[in-house]
Structure 1
Amino acid sequence: MSGSIRNISEDNHLFSLLCEGSKEAFDQIYNLYWKRLLVYVTNAIKDKEAAQDIVQEIFISLWLRRETIPHSGTLAGYLYTAARYKGISYIQANLKESKHADALIAYFSERQDSLNEDFAAKELQLIFDKGIENLPPKMREVFVLSRKENLSYKEISQKLNISDKTVKKQISNALKHFKLILNESYFVHILSILTIFTF
């Protein structure tokens, strides 16, 4: 049996014990996932103190709701989905600050973890993808290489035979485009839907 399969099996066993009210199982889950979730949320919202509060809220709620949590899917999927919604809710509350708009853009342009996503999260991803499609061709190419393929400005400039300055300008203009999207009523509406599902 592979390590990943074994870990999923062990996690699901802990999840089952937690749902039965086991404090020991909760402590093990906390120790296993606290740091991972903190890194995940911090990378998304760019605020470590706020991320610590969010992760703490997730574990408090996990313990308080331990006997009523629907035991479907994986433990990791449940925790990371909770972290995703908490992060989105935090960004929504701070949407007027450009650094949080950038965080949201980065959040959804990262490679997605293989977690269970509900309709609202998928809908938001579709809106973001549509925004990429609407970029001018050259800007879209630069943005995709940067945010989807994780190439550096230098790597992009070499690949496309353009200057670093041009790459930086194209990325900057693309981010401005997405900030405008963030102000569209439908996009904000989707964000408000997501808060309904907040853990």
Structure 2
Amino acid sequence: MKGIDSNTDRLLISGLKHGNHTCFEKLYELYATQLFNFSYKLLKSKDAAEDIVQETFVKIWHKRSDIKIKGSFRSLLITIALNDIRASFNKIAKENGLKNDLLYHLSANSEKYSAEDDYERLLTILENIVSSLPEKRRIIFTKKKLEGKKARDIAAELNVSEKTVEYHVTQAMKFLKSEFKVQGISGAILLFILTKFHNRQSL
């Protein structure tokens, strides 16, 4: 998100801390759309993104007298929004597979990453690697790891053996591991992803 002039920020924040509604409304006008776009990129839901924006600014208003900004106002907004997004991911991660698990892990460790750039970069890498798999392997891997289906159900659906399903999943995992390494993905993220893969293999 792009911010506004820091001097303008300081003046508006000073007014906000003293309960000035006009300053609060001006900050909302300047940042609400940007915060919505940021949240929407992560949540892929307009309603959820709108809720995050509203909740973030409500918290800003309620805690206005205690606001302490070490960086910028937009950084404060991102931090508050990510806390709420983290809670959302925590609720839906088990239902929606690896992609949300990855996002939840990143949001829980957001101090290690530049929020917007790394979310987008890692998701793009994940999607590109999966899309580059051979068709049959991609289909099996997607059904098993991204959709959370059981191996026996995939085998029945595709008219193959469970061993064939397991083989393609294993080979896809090896490929993912090597590609993530080439892309320079941090060890913590890679370990997290592989752990999730391992946990789901037993389902």
Q: Same fold (TM over 0.5)?
A: yes
The CA deviation at 1:9 is 2.4
The CA deviation at 1:70 is 2.1
Task: Pick the structure with more helix per residue.
Answer: 2
Mapping of residues 100-115 of structure 1, within 5 Å: 101-105=98-102
Cα distance in 2 for partners of 1:58, 1:70 equals 15
Cα distance in 1 for partners of 2:15, 2:66 equals 13
TM-score (norm 2): 0.54
Identify the residue that residue 90 of structure 2 maps to in structure 1. Answer: 92
User: Structure 1 residues 69 and 183, CA, compared in 2 at 3 Å: closer, same or farther?
Assistant: farther
Cα distance in 1 for partners of 2:197, 2:133 equals 26
Query: Deviations for 1:7-65, whole angstroms, at most 9, x for unmatched residues?
Result: 12212221222112111110011011111111111111222211211210111111111
The CA deviation at 1:165 is 4.2
Cα distance in 2 for partners of 1:51, 1:5 equals 19
TM-score (norm 1): 0.55
* Structure 2 counterpart SS, 1:82: helix
The CA deviation at 1:96 is 1.4
Kindly indicate whether structure 1 or structure 2 has the higher relative contact order, using CA contacts under 8 Å at least 6 residues apart: 1
Query: Deviations for 1:50-106, whole angstroms, at most 9, x for unmatched residues?
Result: 12112101111111111122243211110111111211111112121226x414535
Gaps of 5+ in 2: 143-171, 178-191
Letter of the 1:58 partner, please give it: T
Mapping of residues 122-137 of structure 1, within 5 Å: 122=111
Query: Deviations for 1:101-157, whole angstroms, at most 9, x for unmatched residues?
Result: 414535877xxxxxxx9x9533699xxx9xxxxxxxxxxxxx979429xxx85xx8x
> Alignment identity in percent?
24
Q: Is the 2:94–2:101 contact (alpha carbons within 8 Å) kept by the matching residues of 1? A: no
Alignment of 1:10 onto 2:8: yes
RMSD of aligned Cα (Å): 4.3
Identify the residue that residue 110 of structure 2 maps to in structure 1. Answer: 121
Aligned match for 2:77, one of 53, 76, 79: 79
Aligned match for 1:147, one of 125, 128, 136: 125
Higher Cα Rg, which structure: 2
| Count of matched residue pairs | 145
Cα distance in 1 for partners of 2:113, 2:123 equals 21
Cα distance in 1 for partners of 2:90, 2:105 equals 14
Q: Is the 1:54–1:83 contact (alpha carbons within 8 Å) kept by the matching residues of 2? A: yes
User: Structure 1 residues 183 and 86, CA, compared in 2 at 3 Å: closer, same or farther?
Assistant: farther
